[in-house]
């Protein structure tokens, strides 16, 4: 399968970059993971996941966990967990719809980054679930293309710590503030219904917004 689409080719021609694009593809784009890709991905504790539905509508999501949250199964396969979220299931629904995903791995401190395009599947009975406490599903991504990407426009940032919401070894995690929003009561999952009163009580949407601005979630 050709790496570039015809619309991409047209833009390359418009801005006289087609020869450069071809040279870059030859130099860095491959259809399987090599030792550099594997080491970098295994060192990350977060990544960005892009998905698209059948109508062509995309979404991008931040996915965080512990170091090695994305496991390299072999040089063609990655796996990562689906943790508790807000119930919208945008990424997972899109994967069920089209299976096409993009993964962006970044080191903001060095900086450095790797991009991957893959075909993904969802698994509720995957044996890897036991290695991801708190996850309800495992996603397996079959690599279509992967490449190191120039990092010159990445602003350096220093990592401050791990989110306290990453599930502990027993799968537990703090009760999030958004599940305490009054208007959401009655719509939460059964396991979360009535829990707000045990975790600080109900709050309004405005109060939640104020908490977010303070870095609380």
What pLDDT score does 202 carry? Answer: 95
Q: What residue spans define the domains of the chain? A: 1-30, 31-148, 177-213
Structure tokens at 78: 């990655």
Model pTM greater than 0.75?
yes
Which residue is listed with tokens 């599903």? 137
Structure tokens at 17: 């970059």
Within 10 angstroms of residue 146's Cβ, the number of other Cβ atoms is: 25
Report d(CA 68, CA 42) in Å as an integer: 5
The candidate with the shortest Cα–Cα distance to 64, out of 114, 117, 132, is 132
Question: pLDDT tens, 164-208?
Answer: 999 999 999 999 999 999 999 999 999 999 999 999 999 999 999
Average pLDDT over residues 1-7: 90
Angle at 142 between CA 33 and CA 136, to 5 degrees: 115
Mean pLDDT of the chain: 95
What pLDDT score does 1 carry? Answer: 59
Residue 151 neighbours by CB under 8 Å, 6+ apart = 110, 111, 112, 113
Query: Are the C-beta atoms of residues 134 and 176 closer than 8 Å to each other?
Result: no
Question: pLDDT tens, 110-153?
Answer: 999 999 999 999 999 999 999 999 999 999 999 999 999 999 99
Phi, psi angle pair for 4, to nearest 5°: -100, 145
HSE-up of 47 (CA within 13 Å, CB side)?
Answer: 26
Within 10 angstroms of residue 102's Cβ, the number of other Cβ atoms is: 18
Angle at 162 between CA 157 and CA 164, to 5 degrees: 135
What pLDDT score does 217 carry? Answer: 75
| CATH class of segment(s) 31-148 | mainly beta
CA distances from 108 to 49, 60, 83, 120, 159 (A): 17, 18, 24, 26, 8
Helix, strand, or coil (residue 35)? helix
Question: pLDDT tens, 59-108?
Answer: 999 999 999 999 999 999 999 999 999 999 999 999 999 999 999 999 99
Ramachandran sector of residue 50 (left: φ over 0; alpha: ψ -120 to 50; beta: rest): beta
Question: pLDDT tens, 7-43?
Answer: 999 999 999 999 999 999 999 999 999 999 999 999 9
Residue 6 has pLDDT above 90, yes or no: yes
Residue 55 has pLDDT above 70, yes or no: yes
3-state secondary structure 72-128: EEECCEEEEEECCCCCCCHHHHHHHHHCEEEEEEEECCCCEEEEEEEEEEEECCCHH
């Amino acid at each position: 399968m050709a790496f570039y689409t015809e619309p991409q080719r047209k833009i390359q021609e418009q801005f006289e970059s087609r020869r450069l694009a071809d040279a870059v593809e030859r130099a860095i784009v491959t259809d399987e993971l090599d030792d550099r890709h594997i080491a970098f991905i295994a060192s990350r504790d977060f990544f960005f996941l892009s998905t698209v539905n059948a109508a062509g509508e995309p979404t991008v999501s931040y996915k965080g966990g512990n170091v090695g949250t994305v496991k390299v199964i072999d040089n063609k396969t990655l796996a990562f967990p689906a943790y508790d979220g807000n119930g919208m299931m945008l990424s997972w629904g899109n994967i069920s719809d089209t299976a096409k995903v993009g993964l962006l791995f970044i080191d903001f401190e060095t900086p450095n980054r790797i991009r991957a395009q893959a075909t993904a599947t969802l698994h509720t009975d995957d044996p890897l679930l036991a290695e991801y406490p708190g996850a309800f599903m495992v996603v397996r991504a079959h690599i279509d293309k992967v490449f190191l990407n120039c990092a010159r426009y990445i602003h350096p940032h220093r990592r401050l710590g791990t989110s306290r919401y990453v599930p502990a070894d027993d799968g537990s995690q703090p009760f999030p503030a958004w599940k305490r929003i009054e208007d959401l009561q009655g719509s939460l999952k059964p396991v979360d219904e009535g829990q707000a009163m045990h975790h600080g009580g109900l709050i309004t949407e405005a109060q939640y917004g104020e908490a977010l601005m303070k870095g609380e979630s």
